[in-house]
Amino acid sequence: MMTTSSDVLVVGGGMAGAVAALAAATRGRSVTLLRKAPGATALASGAIDLAPMGEQRHVTSVAVASATAGWLEAVASRSPSHPYCAVGPRGLALIGDAADMILGRLADAGLPHAPFDAKGRGHLVVDLTGKVRRVASAQASQKLEETEPGKRRIGVVRFRRHLSLDTGLTLAGLRAVFANVVPVEVDWPDEADGAFLLPVEIGRRLDDPRGRSALFKLLRTAVAGKRLTHLVLPPIAGLEHVSEVMRAVSDVTGTKAVETLGGEASLPGHRLDRALSRALEAAGVRLETNAHGASDGKLKRFPGAIVLASGRFIGGGLERRDRLRETIFDLPVDDGARPIKDEPLDVLTSRRGLGAHRVFRAGIRIDENLRPLDVGGKPFREGLFAAGSVIGGHDPQADFSGMGVAILTGYLAGLRAAEWKRS
């Protein structure tokens, strides 16, 4: 049953909700977080994209023209409805503080990340298709070292006994960028159901020293004589002991081991979700499992500040019945340019797969202080703030800013909620 004794109530247990809860807790407020399920966070690839930062397409160059801050400003300037623009220049300037806070908490919770630097060029990572691109941060196990491409000799691990961990695309994609890329084939997991294991199940086997030992023996043999500098693995290196697993792989193979970003059923996403839960518990945030309290009138009567971080369609913050609606307060929904009510889906989508789909930009409107707005453009309710993808005006996947919006708006909403007092 939802508590009413906390100063701040956060609705939603993904990245935005976790950051909001942690930000409020660091200001000395008592915080309760209601979570329905992990939502989109458990599907995360491991990359922390704040903006599209370019990608490495040529062997001779890994440079980008602008620092991270420049890419953030470019997103805000191109799209007046984007949350980066809505929070204003002062709000956007705090993204470094927000990133430092959450990355520090994740490291304390056992999931280290590459450091964020607004003046830096970001970090290189490899996705499942072998594309090398830059991100603001990523899980430390996924960071590719900044060395000259011509000096790399890369091995790509392929598990011959597993049906879904086919790294053929990774191999082909890396070969389009680097001159020396070779397959490293191993027969693992060597067990009756090995071919059908999910990435999370494989990760659990690598958390077990016996499972690691079996793989390491095969890898040591497979890389012998190949003179590799780097070894690329699928994203399966453990749920709880990823740093230990990756260090051991590097030691056993004599290479710099790196994971690709996650894909469907992302093990890095599960890692992130578990680490966020540990960080919240360490900060004294009270966690409650509840279907966002939507069926409980107590949520609407909660006397303290509320941060709405309920997500969109995966998280359950938006739903479509007779119309597209926000599920808890029935806040008006728009795409950043005009309202969305009962239009049919073919009006809300583009005929081009990579076109602008209004439905993927759907969400609530906010003011500079993260307060949701009513149909007249005024704050809907005192003490109510919003964070994450429930905020409209942007497509988190298409503009590579989903994690950035979650971290920045979660941080700002948490601070505003901590400062708010009922008059």
184: CATH: 3.40.50
Does residue 142 lie in a domain region?
no
Does residue 123 lie in a domain region?
no
Query: Do 330 and 394 fall into the same domain?
Result: yes
Does residue 380 lie in a domain region?
yes
Q: Which pTM value belongs to this model?
A: 0.91
How high is the pLDDT of residue 296?
Answer: 55
Q: Of the residues 208, 229, 264, which one is the last residue of a structural domain?
A: 264
Q: Of the residues 198, 231, 264, which one is the last residue of a structural domain?
A: 264
Does residue 145 lie in a domain region?
no
Residue 218 is part of which domain span? 153-264
Query: Do 345 and 400 fall into the same domain?
Result: yes
Q: Of the residues 264, 299, 314, which one is the last residue of a structural domain?
A: 264
Token pair of 69, please? 């801050």
* Rounded average pLDDT over 325-351: 76
| Whether the Cβ atoms of residue 23 and residue 415 lie closer than 8 Å to each other | yes
β-bridge partners, 185: 158
Does residue 56 lie in a domain region?
yes
Does residue 28 lie in a domain region?
yes
Task: Name the phi and psi angles at 154, rounded to 5.
Answer: -110, 130
| Whether the Cβ atoms of residue 409 and residue 385 lie closer than 8 Å to each other | no
How high is the pLDDT of residue 119?
Answer: 86
How high is the pLDDT of residue 20?
Answer: 98
302: CATH: 3.50.50.60
Say how far apart CA 252 and CA 110 lie, in whole Å.
22
How high is the pLDDT of residue 57?
Answer: 43
Query: Do 259 and 212 fall into the same domain?
Result: yes
How high is the pLDDT of residue 265?
Answer: 72
| Whether the Cβ atoms of residue 13 and residue 29 lie closer than 8 Å to each other | no
* Rounded average pLDDT over 183-196: 86
pLDDT tens digits for range 31-62: 999 998 777 788 899 999 988 776 544 333 44
Query: Do 289 and 387 fall into the same domain?
Result: yes
pLDDT category, 295, cuts 50, 70, 90? very low
How high is the pLDDT of residue 143?
Answer: 96
Does residue 126 lie in a domain region?
no
Residue of 137, 136, 144, 138 lying closest to 53 (CA atoms):
136
What is the tally of structural domains in the chain? Answer: 2
Checking if the pLDDT of 343 tops 80, the result is no
Helix (H) or strand (E) holding 307: strand 305-308
Token pair of 393, please? 């005006």
Query: Do 239 and 317 fall into the same domain?
Result: no
Query: Do 182 and 274 fall into the same domain?
Result: no
User: What's the gap between Cα 24 and its chain centre?
Assistant: 21
Checking if the pLDDT of 179 tops 50, the result is yes
**Maximum CA pair distance of the chain?**
73
Query: Do 36 and 69 fall into the same domain?
Result: yes
Say how far apart CA 387 and CA 158 lie, in whole Å.
40
Query: Do 391 and 279 fall into the same domain?
Result: yes
Q: How many residues does the chain have?
A: 423
R_g of the chain, CA atoms, integer Å: 22
Token pair of 127, please? 């996705």
Query: Do 273 and 260 fall into the same domain?
Result: no
DSSP at 151: G
How much of the chain exceeds pLDDT 70, in percent?
89
How high is the pLDDT of residue 58?
Answer: 39
Query: Do 244 and 275 fall into the same domain?
Result: no
Query: Do 259 and 324 fall into the same domain?
Result: no
Query: Do 246 and 272 fall into the same domain?
Result: no
Q: Is the dihedral of CA 78, 80, 85, 89 positive or negative?
A: positive
Does residue 195 lie in a domain region?
yes
Measured distance between the N- and C-terminal CA atoms of the chain, rounded to whole angstroms: 27
pLDDT tens digits for range 215-271: 999 999 999 999 999 999 999 999 999 999 999 999 999 999 999 999 877 899 999
